[in-house]
């Protein structure tokens, strides 16, 4: 099949900076793509790279878009290298804009993101009052000694039915990771995400063997091929997948339904366009029993870019409130 192809770059400031072990994140850059079939049907997609997370760079994505030209074919799009997961995600979504709708009665819980440091204590009461049953706290941002004290303060405020996830973003060395995991073994923590650097495979595997705490891979499994490799090595923990980074949604869905990994889906701080496509795919099949990592709030402070409000429960109709063409037209 042949398509008319066009693309637009965007840059949007985040409403509030997001602090992680990688540093402060203040804006989102990406590319919207548009494919028009010969029958006039139009599809949109979003390329939202995070090069510091292990994806292709925005410059690489832009160069691919420029080289594709104004007219493309399925064969040309299928030939894009696997390592360009964000580009492949967007183009696959634009080629298949009409996923079969999921049952509107189906709902999935959402885990709310707490800010790093002491600010989490101020935000926590509002998240509990809103009804969130899962929370995620960024660690590895401040001194371990201070954060471990804050962990006890946070847990003391949590009802027994609320689950807390910790995300170190690969910031800990061996000694710090062992100290944290020893402490978490005695505390009600759902899992600890990326306790060591993504390239330190031996340390990650060793920590998983030595401590009873459930561990999760995130930066280590940016692409679907990496997730497959870790699964083949016998990883028994959680796979945190950011679908907007991992490649075509149908490939991800097939892997999960075939091999049954323990998966958490997480936002890459994509706009409402990419997020709606991810969530439709998640609702189209039974892919996870864990709370979705999409409780990031109104990160852009603009309903058109954020999409409808996200609460503690998300139903399959969320994406119906997103207009991809309006987002496309909002970019000059």
Q: Which residues are catalytic?
A: 138, 242
d(CA 252, CA 243): 8
The pair phi, psi for residue 156, each rounded to 5°, is: -65, -25
The sheet carrying 71-73 orders its strands as 42-47, 23-37, 2-20, 71-73
184, containing H or E segment: helix 174-184
d(CA 249, CA 230): 19
What is the β-pairing status of strands 23-37 and 42-47? antiparallel
Nearest CA to 62 among 31, 41, 96, 40?
31
Q: Answer yes or no: are the C-beta atoms of 195 and 168 closer than 8 Å.
A: yes
Q: Answer yes or no: are the C-beta atoms of 91 and 111 closer than 8 Å.
A: no
Q: Answer yes or no: are the C-beta atoms of 33 and 80 closer than 8 Å.
A: no
| Half-sphere exposure at residue 25, Cβ-oriented, CA atoms within 13 angstroms | 21
Compute the chain's Rg from CA coordinates: 20
């Amino acid at each position: 099949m042949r398509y008319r192809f066009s693309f637009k770059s965007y840059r949007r400031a985040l409403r509030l900076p997001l602090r992680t072990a990688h540093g402060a994140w203040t804006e989102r850059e990406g590319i919207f793509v548009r494919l028009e079939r010969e029958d006039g049907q139009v599809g949109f997609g979003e390329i939202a790279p995070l090069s510091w997370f292990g994806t292709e760079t925005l410059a690489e994505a832009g160069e691919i878009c420029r080289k594709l030209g104004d007219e493309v074919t399925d064969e040309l799009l299928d030939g894009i290298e696997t390592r360009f997961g964000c580009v492949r995600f967007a183009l696959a979504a634009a080629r298949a804009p009409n996923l079969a709708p999921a049952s509107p009665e189906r709902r999935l819980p959402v885990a709310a993101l707490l800010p790093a440091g002491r600010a989490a204590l101020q935000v926590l009461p509002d998240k509990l009052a809103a009804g969130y049953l899962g929370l995620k706290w960024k660690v590895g941002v401040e001194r371990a000694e201070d954060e471990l004290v804050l962990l006890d303060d946070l847990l003391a405020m949590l009802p027994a039915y609320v689950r807390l996830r910790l995300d170190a973003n690969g910031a800990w060395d061996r000694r710090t990771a062992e100290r944290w995991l020893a402490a978490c073994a005695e505390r009600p923590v759902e899992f600890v995400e990326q306790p060591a650097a993504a390239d330190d495979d031996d340390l990650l595997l060793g920590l998983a063997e030595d401590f009873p705490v459930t561990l999760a891979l995130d930066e280590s499994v940016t692409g679907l091929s990496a997730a497959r490799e870790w699964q083949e090595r016998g990883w028994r923990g959680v796979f945190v997948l950011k679908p907007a980074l991992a490649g075509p949604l149908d490939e991800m869905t097939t892997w999960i339904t075939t091999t049954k990994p323990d998966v958490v889906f997480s936002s890459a701080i994509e706009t409402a366009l990419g997020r709606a496509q991810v969530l439709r795919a998640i609702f189209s099949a039974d892919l996870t029993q864990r709370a979705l990592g999409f409780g990031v709030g109104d990160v852009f402070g603009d309903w058109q870019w954020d999409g409808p409000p996200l609460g503690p429960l998300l139903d399959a109709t969320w994406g119906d409130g997103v207009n991809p063409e309006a987002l496309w037209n909002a970019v000059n």
